[in-house]
């Protein structure tokens, strides 16, 4: 089965059934009107025909059969809606009988209106059946009209006009069917687009959850691990050596680690919120916290035209900045730190530079410049994090100091 055949089948089982159900009332009313006109004996469409014999009994029998078929048609469609496994051959058979019976007596002078049943069957065949069955119903109606013309006498106009009318009726029904199929296709495309959008949103949500889980995991592994080591060392000094001064110093370091870990965790959680702070505000908060804990001279400069930044970029650059500040406090305690945020047209750059004064110790030595490997395990993790969003990280000596630079494309 081809793709469009499957769509037509779906339309026939859904939208077309509803459309057919909506046609039951007007179809039944039309059948009643045809019966009334035929029984009146007026023969509105029979003028000009030669009619040697009216055959009223035959007309009444054909009319009763057509009315019964129309009623059965309505009942069948109601049952078909309730039973999806309803036989598919029943509707073509019903329409074929209706077309043949009405067409067979349509050339009688008093039965001219009954050709309307043939046209009704042709329209329904074009609208509800596949091409083959629809052509069979139309051809049967045309043959029945031709046979009636030969049997009961005819005029040239009636013999040619009604068969053409049947063909036009089939085309009208086909047009209705095409419109319904197009609507069904449009509805299917809209539903597919909704499903695709829903799946994309679900995938984005899962990615965001994975990113936040990674953030929390990194923070806990780093902060709590270091905190545990500091506390164990302090406990050993206090319990075994009685070195209170050194123990107090280690406890102070543990307190600073705990404060730093809480701040970093708070920043990661804020990425889940719609009102997460802008990048410059996030960096400013980091610099303030850094000054409160380590008491160095740290400043933040923002250059370039400010623009909105995604939460993912904000968190990544904030984590890099926080790691660089922590490394500065660890390796060059007391050194002034400069944090610079630059909004370029094609990228965003964050640079963290510490410049120890002469005589201020620094344990970095003369390490070579690095793309992240020389800055410790934390900077390696930050470099990997930036790579996920297309960014880069470099770290290395800068004169007497040390510079960490993170760049993210726009």
Asked whether residue 228 is domain-assigned, the answer is no
Boundary residue ending a domain (176, 198, 220): 198
* Four-residue CA torsion sign, 395, 399, 401, 407: negative
Overall average pLDDT of the 331-345 stretch = 89
Q: What's the rounded Cα separation, in Å, for the pair 4 and 181?
A: 9
Asked whether residue 206 is domain-assigned, the answer is no
Q: For 82-116, what is each residue's pLDDT tens digit?
A: 676 777 888 888 888 888 888 888 777 667 778 88
In angstroms, how far is CA 366 from the centroid of its own chain? Answer: 54
Residue 255 pLDDT > 80: no
168 with 304, same domain?
A: no
11 with 121, same domain?
A: yes
The CA-atom distances, in angstroms, between 15 and each of 158, 210, 228 are 37, 42, 67
91 with 190, same domain?
A: yes
171 with 297, same domain?
A: no
Asked whether residue 130 is domain-assigned, the answer is yes
Boundary residue ending a domain (198, 224, 253): 198
Asked whether residue 243 is domain-assigned, the answer is no
Boundary residue ending a domain (183, 198, 213): 198
pLDDT for position 276 = 62
Q: What's the rounded Cα separation, in Å, for the pair 55 and 34?
A: 18
162 with 286, same domain?
A: no
192 with 73, same domain?
A: yes
Q: For 201-220, what is each residue's pLDDT tens digit?
A: 888 777 777 766 766 766 66
Asked whether residue 231 is domain-assigned, the answer is no
Residue 374 pLDDT > 60: no
Asked whether residue 218 is domain-assigned, the answer is no
User: What CATH number corresponds to the domain at position 292?
Assistant: 3.30.565.10
Residue 41 pLDDT > 50: yes
pLDDT for position 90 = 84
**pLDDT band (50, 70, 90) for residue 368:** very low
**pLDDT band (50, 70, 90) for residue 52:** very low
Asked whether residue 238 is domain-assigned, the answer is no
Q: For 220-242, what is each residue's pLDDT tens digit?
A: 666 676 677 777 777 777 777 77
67 with 191, same domain?
A: yes
Percent of the residues in the chain that have a pLDDT greater than 70, as a whole number: 74
Q: For 375-410, what is each residue's pLDDT tens digit?
A: 344 667 778 778 888 899 998 888 778 899 999 997
7 with 152, same domain?
A: yes
Residue 16 pLDDT > 50: no
57 with 194, same domain?
A: yes
153: left (phi over 0), alpha (psi -120 to 50) or beta: left
Asked whether residue 227 is domain-assigned, the answer is no
Overall average pLDDT of the 237-252 stretch = 76
pLDDT for position 326 = 80
pLDDT for position 8 = 44
315 with 171, same domain?
A: no
Tokens coding 29: 């009313």
31 with 156, same domain?
A: yes
The number of distinct structural domains making up the chain is 2
The CA-atom distances, in angstroms, between 217 and each of 70, 83, 220, 387, 401 are 72, 56, 5, 18, 31
Span of 133-147, 217-231, 303-317 with lowest mean pLDDT: 217-231
In angstroms, how far is CA 77 from the centroid of its own chain? Answer: 35
Overall average pLDDT of the 364-373 stretch = 43
* Residue-range definition of the domain harbouring residue 126: 3-198
292 with 189, same domain?
A: no
């Amino acid at each position: 089965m081809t793709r469009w055949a499957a769509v037509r089948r779906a339309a026939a089982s859904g939208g077309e059934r509803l459309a057919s159900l909506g046609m039951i009332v007007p179809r039944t009313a039309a059948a009643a009107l045809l019966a009334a006109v035929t029984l009146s004996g007026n023969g509105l469409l029979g003028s000009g025909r030669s009619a040697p014999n009216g055959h009223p009994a035959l007309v009444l029998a054909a009319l009763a059969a057509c009315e019964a078929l129309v009623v059965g048609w309505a009942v069948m469609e109601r049952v078909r809606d309730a039973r999806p496994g309803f036989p598919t051959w029943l509707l073509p058979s019903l329409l074929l009988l209706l077309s043949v019976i009405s067409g067979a007596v349509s050339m009688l002078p008093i039965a001219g209106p009954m050709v309307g049943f043939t046209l009704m069957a042709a329209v329904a065949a074009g609208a509800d059946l596949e091409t083959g069955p629809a052509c069979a119903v139309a051809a049967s109606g045309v043959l029945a009209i031709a046979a009636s013309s030969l049997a009961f006498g005819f005029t040239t106009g009636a013999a040619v006009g009604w068969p053409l009318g049947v063909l036009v009726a089939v085309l009208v029904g086909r047009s209705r069917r095409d419109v319904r199929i197009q609507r069904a296709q449009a509805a299917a495309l809209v539903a597919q687009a909704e499903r695709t959008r829903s799946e994309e949103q679900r995938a984005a949500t899962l990615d965001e959850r994975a990113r936040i889980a990674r953030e929390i995991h990194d923070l806990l592994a780093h902060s709590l691990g270091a905190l545990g080591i500091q506390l164990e060392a302090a406990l050993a000094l206090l319990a075994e050596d009685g070195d209170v001064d050194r123990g107090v110093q280690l406890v102070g370091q543990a307190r600073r680690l705990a404060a730093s870990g809480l701040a970093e965790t708070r920043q990661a959680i804020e990425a889940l919120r719609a009102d997460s702070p802008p990048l410059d505000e996030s960096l400013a908060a980091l610099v303030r916290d850094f000054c409160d804990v380590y008491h160095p001279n740290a400043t933040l400069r923002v250059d370039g035209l400010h623009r909105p930044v995604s939460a993912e970029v904000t968190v990544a650059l904030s984590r890099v900045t926080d790691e660089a500040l922590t490394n500065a406090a660890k390796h060059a305690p007391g050194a002034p730190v400069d944090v610079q945020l630059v909004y370029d047209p094609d990228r965003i750059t964050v640079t963290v530079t510490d410049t120890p004064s002469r005589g201020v110790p620094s344990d970095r030595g003369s390490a070579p410049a690095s793309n992240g490997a020389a800055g410790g395990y934390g900077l390696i993790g930050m470099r990997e994090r930036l790579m996920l969003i297309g960014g880069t990280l470099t770290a290395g000596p800068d004169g007497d100091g040390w510079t960490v630079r993170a760049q993210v494309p726009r």
